[in-house]
Structures are given as structure tokens and as C-alpha cells.
């Protein structure tokens, strides 16, 4: 399976992500410069963490205008798999591929620590190798990860089971205490309605080797790889219609 | 002509920075401060457009780029350019 990791000026997890995919998971992986127009035939696009354009204006707000994002948008609209990690998640929100927006962390602190996540939906292209209710331990590193969606959009994504991960405690309880950044409904990761675009604040690429403190992040990459290897028709269905909140 | 655009959080969205500033002011004894909302200010210089076209243009860039309509609102006003125009 071929992955493409997009590089913006200010991306700083691009090589970590490329390393995890290529060296740890043994997949084909290429770096894609944001100024290009070519996705180089990849099967999955990954928008990595970092501070694209210095987080000027709003996190992810300028990166969304990069030439390559036009290609990524049509790739996603046609059912291609897109994974946004941290700043990549913020870019997907600004791009309108995912519902909601990011606010500063509730305590106004940059948070760099391990957190626990509960898999809320185990039947997605990004979690099929895991199981609903499984608790993952993955690090976060962000200032603007306080996920917000207006009431109607929030009700919508809950109903359609688009919440893929929630912050929880080590036992898997979704509590206010475990909600490190103040995200609405403890949301740590959300996908689009069609199920082919996922954004999450935690960094699975930083949790892909035991040597570096844990391998829980691998389940997300392994799910994508498994789905690709599965017979045709089992993957995410191509979408051509736009959900209202995707605007 | 010059336009000043103010972008701030919608009233329904929590503004942690504004809250922190408010708390600091309370700590300093300014008890009359009831609430603080923090925003961003953009001053945009426009050239070769009519006032009417400028109004449409400002609304468009505010909606598309300067503000994120999910969480932010915006207002704007024409101001005096440093050149006096």
C-alpha cells in the first residue's frame, strides 16, 4: 500500500510519520510537497503534525490554500483515504472535509503528554484492526486541540457515529477529568460521514514502536493497511454528495 | 481606502483568553469589569475599487479567510488611511 505524507512549511512530524509507515509498518511511503499538484498515485494521504505556516491566522487556516490541497480535496470526495494528525486534523477542519473547528486548550497551555483514548467506533477504515471500547495510550502535543462543533452539527456527528476516539481514563471511562483540552463530548478524533476522512489530535506515529514508549498507535495504520488488502467493496464507499456540515 | 475588520468568537463559543484577561483584571481589583472577549483586528488597504465593491469584497474575504464562521463572527468599518484619503 502506498502512503503519501504531505509537507507544508512548518510541518514537523512529516519524517516521523514517513518513518513509521515505511520502516515500522513496511509500506511504500512518499513525501508530497504542498506546492505540487500530483498525489503520485498514493492510496492514502496523511497530513502530519506541526505548525504549518506558523499557525498564522488560525491553525491550518493558510495550509488549506496550498495547491496540493485541491488535489487532496477531490481525492477525498472520490472516496480516497485521508488521515489528518494534529495540525493535519486542523487543516482538514479548515478545508471543510471534517465538521467542527478547533479552539485553544481550555487551560491555555500547550499540552505534551500521553493520553488515553477510547475507540468509539470499531467499524471504520481507521479502527477495523481494533475493537470498540479498546483503550489506546498515545501522546498529544498541541495548543489548539479543544474540539468544538455547534449543537446541530454535534448532534449530527454523534448520531452518525462519526466520533471515532474520545479522551478517557486508563480504564476507558470517558470523564471530565480525562478531557485534557476541554473538547466538546471528549472528542479526540472525528471522521466524515462517508468514513474515508479521519482527523485526530493524538500522534499515532509517535506510538508505533515499543522502544519509544508504546505501540498503540499502530492499530490506526494497521486498520488502513488491512482494509486495503481486503477484497474490493469492503473499503470506504466513494462519495460524490456533500454532507451539509462538510461545507 | 482603508477598512478595519474585527474578528471575534461568537457569543456561544467559550473564549478562554478573554476569560483569563478578565480574571487578571479582577485580581488587580477592577471589579467593574463584567466580561472580556478577545478578538483579532485586520486593517486592509484597498485600491481601485468603489465603496460598494469594497463592501462586497470585505464580506467575502472575512467569511472565506479571516474568520472561521463556525466559531467566529466579524464586523468592519471604513477608517481613515494614514495618507489622509
The domains of chain A, with CATH numbers, are 2-236 (3.40.50.880)
Cβ atoms of residues A48 and A85 within 8 Å = yes
- A205 in catalytic set: yes
Q: Give backbone dihedrals phi and psi of B60, rounded to 5 degrees, phi first.
A: -70, -50
In this structure, what C-alpha cell is assigned to residue A15? Answer: 519524517
Considering CB atoms only, which of B20, B65, B71 is closest to A148?
B71
Q: Considering the domain boundaries, does residue B84 fall inside one?
A: no
Q: Considering the domain boundaries, does residue B69 fall inside one?
A: yes
Q: Considering the domain boundaries, does residue B54 fall inside one?
A: yes
Q: Is A61 helix (H, G, I), strand (E, B) or coil?
A: coil
**Mean of the pLDDT values across residues A168-188?**
97
Tell me what pLDDT residue A232 has: 55
Q: Is A176 helix (H, G, I), strand (E, B) or coil?
A: coil
pLDDT at A236 over 60: no
Tell me what pLDDT residue A199 has: 98
Q: Considering the domain boundaries, does residue B47 fall inside one?
A: yes
Torsion angle of alpha carbons A208, A211, A216, A221, nearest 10°?
10
pTM (predicted TM-score):
0.90
Element (H, E) at A228: helix A218-229
Q: What is chain B's alpha carbon radius of gyration, rounded to the nearest angstrom?
A: 16
pLDDT band, residue A246 (cuts 50/70/90):
very low
Beta strands A187-191 and A135-142 are: unpaired
Q: Considering the domain boundaries, does residue B24 fall inside one?
A: no
pLDDT in tens, A70-85: 999 999 999 999 999 9
How far apart CA A186 and CA A108 sit, in angstroms, is 17
pLDDT in tens, A117-152: 999 999 999 999 999 999 999 999 999 999 999 999
User: Considering chain A, what is the average pLDDT of its residues?
Assistant: 93
In this structure, what C-alpha cell is assigned to residue B24? Answer: 487578571
The CA–CA distances, whole Å, from A191 to A86, A155, A222 equal 14, 14, 17
Cβ atoms of residues A203 and A158 within 8 Å = no
Tell me what pLDDT residue B80 has: 87
**Mean of the pLDDT values across residues B36-64?**
94
pLDDT band, residue B64 (cuts 50/70/90):
very high
Cβ atoms of residues A68 and A30 within 8 Å = no
pLDDT at B21 over 60: yes
Alpha carbon of residue B26 to chain centroid: 24
Q: Considering the domain boundaries, does residue B27 fall inside one?
A: no
Q: Considering the domain boundaries, does residue B21 fall inside one?
A: no
What domain range is B58 assigned to? 2-13+39-79
Q: How many CB atoms lie within 10 A of CB B5?
A: 20
Q: Distance from A89 to chain B by nearest Cα, in Å?
A: 15
Indicate the burial class of A73 (C-beta count within 10 angstroms; 0-12, 13-18, 19 or more).
middle
In this structure, what C-alpha cell is assigned to residue A77? Answer: 470526495
Q: Is A101 helix (H, G, I), strand (E, B) or coil?
A: strand
Q: Identify the CATH number of the domain in which residue B60 sits.
A: 3.30.1280.10
Of B42, B41, B34, the residue nearest B18 (C-alpha) = B34
Mutate to test the interface with A, among B5, B12, B16, B72 (most CBs of A within 10 A): B16
Residue A95 CA neighbour count, 13 Å, CB half: 30
pLDDT at B84 over 90: no
Q: Which residues in chain A touch residue B66, judged by CB atoms under 8 angstroms apart?
A: 57
Q: Considering the domain boundaries, does residue B74 fall inside one?
A: yes
Q: Provide the domain count of chain B.
A: 1
3-state secondary structure B27-66: HCCCCCCCCCCCEEEEEEECCCCCHHHHHHHHHHHHHHHH
Q: Confirm or reject contact between B68 and chain A (CB < 8 A).
A: yes
pLDDT in tens, A21-69: 999 999 999 999 999 999 999 999 999 999 999 999 999 999 999 999 9
pLDDT band, residue B81 (cuts 50/70/90):
confident
How far apart CA B76 and CA B58 sit, in angstroms, is 8
> Which of A13, A44, A86, A168 is the catalytic position?
A86
pLDDT in tens, A156-176: 999 999 999 999 999 999 999
Amino acid at each position: 500500500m502506498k502512503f503519501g505524507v504531505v509537507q507544508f512549511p512548518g510541518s514537523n512530524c512529516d519524517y516521523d510519520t514517513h518513518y513509521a509507515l515505511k520502516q515500522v509498518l513496511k509500506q511504500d511511503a512518499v513525501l508530497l510537497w504542498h506546492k505540487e499538484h500530483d498525489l503520485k498515485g498514493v492510496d492514502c494521504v496523511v497530513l502530519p503534525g506541526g505548525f504549518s505556516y506558523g499557525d498564522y491566522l488560525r491553525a491550518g487556516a493558510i495550509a488549506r490554500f496550498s495547491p496540493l490541497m485541491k488535489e487532496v480535496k477531490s481525492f477525498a470526495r472520490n472516496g480516497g483515504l485521508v488521515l489528518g494528525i494534529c495540525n493535519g486534523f486542523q487543516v482538514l477542519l479548515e478545508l471543510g472535509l471534517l465538521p467542527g473547528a478547533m479552539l485553544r486548550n481550555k487551560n491555555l497551555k500547550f499540552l505534551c503528554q500521553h493520553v488515553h483514548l477510547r475507540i468509539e467506533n470499531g467499524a471504520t477504515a481507521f479502527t477495523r484492526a481494533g475493537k470498540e471500547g479498546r483503550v489506546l495510550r498515545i501522546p498529544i502535543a498541541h495548543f489548539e486541540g479543544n474540539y468544538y462543533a455547534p449543537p446541530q452539527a454535534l448532534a449530527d456527528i454523534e448520531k452518525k457515529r462519526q466520533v471515532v476516539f474520545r479522551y478517557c481514563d486508563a480504564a476507558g471511562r470517558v470523564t471530565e477529568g480525562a478531557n485534557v483540552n476541554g473538547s466538546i463530548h471528549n472528542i479526540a478524533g472525528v471522521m466524515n460521514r462517508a468514513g474515508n476522512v479521519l482527523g485526530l489530535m493524538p500522534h499515532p506515529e509517535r506510538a508505533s514502536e515499543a522502544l519509544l514508549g508504546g505501540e498503540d498507535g499502530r492499530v490506526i495504520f494497521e486498520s488502513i493497511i488491512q482494509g486495503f488488502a481486503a477484497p474490493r467493496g469492503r473499503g470506504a464507499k466513494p462519495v460524490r454528495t456533500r454532507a451539509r456540515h462538510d461545507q | 481606502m482603508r477598512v478595519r475588520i474585527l474578528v471575534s468568537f461568537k457569543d456561544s463559543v467559550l473564549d478562554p483568553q478573554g476569560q483569563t484577561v478578565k480574571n487578571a483584571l479582577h485580581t488587580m481589583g477592577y471589579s467593574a469589569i463584567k466580561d472580556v472577549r478577545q478578538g483579532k483586528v485586520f486593517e486592509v488597504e484597498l485600491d481601485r475599487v468603489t465603496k460598494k465593491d469594497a463592501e462586497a469584497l470585505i464580506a467575502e474575504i472575512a467569511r472565506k479567510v479571516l474568520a472561521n464562521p463556525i466559531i467566529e463572527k466579524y464586523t468592519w468599518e471604513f477608517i481613515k488611511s494614514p495618507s489622509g484619503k
